[in-house]
Chain A
Amino acid sequence: DTGVSQNPRHKITKRGQNVTFRCDPISEHNRLYWYRQTLGQGPEFLTYFQNEAQLEKSRLLSDRFSAERPKGSFSTLEIQRTEQGDSAMYLCASRRPGHPNTEAFFGQGTRLTVV
Chain B
Amino acid sequence: AQSVTQLDSQVPVFEEAPVELRCNYSSSVSVYLFWYVQYPNQGLQLLLKYLSGSTLVKGINGFEAEFNKSQTSFHLRKPSVHISDTAEYFCAVSDPQGGGSYIPTFGRGTSLIVHP
The residues of A with any CB-CB pair to B shorter than 8 Å are 4, 31, 33, 35, 40-45, 48, 50, 55-56, 91, 93, 95, 100-101, 103-104, 106-109
Whole-angstrom CA separation of A4 from B44 in the bound complex: 11
Name the residue of chain B whose CB is nearest to the CB of A10.
B41
Name the residue of chain B whose CB is nearest to the CB of A55.
B101
Closest 3 CB pairs of A and B: A42-B106, A106-B43, A106-B44
Q: Is the contact region of chain B dominated by helix, strand, or loop, or is it mixed?
A: loop
The answer to the question of B90 belonging to the interface, with a C-beta cut-off of 8 Å to chain A, is yes
Query: A104: which of B46, B105, B108 is its contact (CB, 8 Å)?
Result: B46
Whole-angstrom CA separation of A107 from B43 in the bound complex: 5
Instruction: Report the minimal beta-carbon distance from A99 to chain B, rounded to whole angstroms.
Output: 9
Instruction: Report the minimal beta-carbon distance from B108 to chain A, rounded to whole angstroms.
Output: 5
Which A residues are in CB contact (< 8 Å) with B106? Answer: 35, 42-44
Whole-angstrom CA separation of A33 from B103 in the bound complex: 8
Whole-angstrom CA separation of A95 from B102 in the bound complex: 10
Q: Are B104 and A104 in contact (CB under 8 A)?
A: yes
Q: Are B103 and A48 in contact (CB under 8 A)?
A: yes
Q: Are B101 and A56 in contact (CB under 8 A)?
A: yes
Say yes or no: A50-B100 contact (C-beta < 8 A), given A43-B90, A100-B32: yes
Query: A41: which of B41, B51, B96, B109 is its contact (CB, 8 Å)?
Result: B109
Q: Are B46 and A41 in contact (CB under 8 A)?
A: no
Q: Are A108 and B109 in contact (CB under 8 A)?
A: no
Whole-angstrom CA separation of A95 from B44 in the bound complex: 14
Name the residue of chain B whose CB is nearest to the CB of A44.
B106
Which B residues are in CB contact (< 8 Å) with A33? Answer: 103
Name the residue of chain B whose CB is nearest to the CB of A47.
B103
